Structure formats: C-alpha cells, structure tokens
Amino acid sequence: QVQVVESGGGLVQAGGSLRLSCAASGSIYSLDDMGWYRQAPGKQRELVATITSDGSTNYGDSVKGRFTISRDNAKNTVFLQMTSLKPEDTAVYYCNTKCIFPDRTRYTYWGQGTQVTVSS
C-alpha cells in the first residue's frame, strides 16, 4: 500500500536544469535514508545521490557540483535539483526510499523511474 511517485523528468538541452521530485505515501510513519539512482541503456544502475534522515548527503563523482539532493520530511518527499546537465546524464532516474512504519519496521521501495534526456 506504499506508493512512490516520481515526477519532473523530461527533455532538456545541454547546460539546462531539471528538478525531480519523489513522494512516498501510504501507511508510513517517516522516511529514513533516501536516494536517487540512474540507469542508462545498456548500463548498470548507478548512484546519483543519497540523503540521510537528518540531511547528510553523498553524491556520485559524475554529478558532484552539479546536482543537489534535498528532502521535505513533513511531506515524505525527496528532490533532485540538476543543473549544468550533460548528454551523459541521460538515463532513467529512480527514487529509492527507506520507509519507517508505525511499528518501526523498515522496508525499501523503488519508484518506477522518470526519464531524463539531455540533448546536445
């Protein structure tokens, strides 16, 4: 009964910006760590960025200085602000959410992915 909904993907020219959002809903008490991953055609899924429940962040080497991950705990939402986009950033972006339930159990859910395409 947990829903993870991603939005904000699309087509953008190199050098442009996009903001991705991922909202988790359902019988969730709160969210622990969250993150963004991406997968390009023919490649393995790779880390983009993660953020802990108290705001500590980590970024993949290829996006450092260009992408920013943030979260709104009150809305169970994580964001990815992407700037200075490059064609190499073209991929399906997946949201990863570690959900904490009222009984304090935890389970990780993945969003269905949102396409980001950066044109030359």
pLDDT for the residue 1 = 78
Q: Are the C-beta atoms of residues 30 and 53 closer than 8 Å to each other?
A: yes
Following DSSP, what letter does each residue of 26-65 receive, concatenated? Answer: SS-SEEEEEEEEEE-TTS--EEEEEE-TT--EEE-GGGTT
Q: Are the C-beta atoms of residues 63 and 36 closer than 8 Å to each other?
A: no
pLDDT tens per residue, the chain (120 residues)?
799 999 999 999 999 999 999 999 998 888 999 999 999 999 999 999 999 998 999 999 999 999 999 999 999 999 999 999 999 999 999 999 999 999 999 999 999 999 999 999
* Token duo for residue 5: 């909904």
Angstrom distance (rounded) from CA 117 to CA 40: 10
List C-alpha distances in Å: 33 to 18, 49, 113: 22, 11, 18
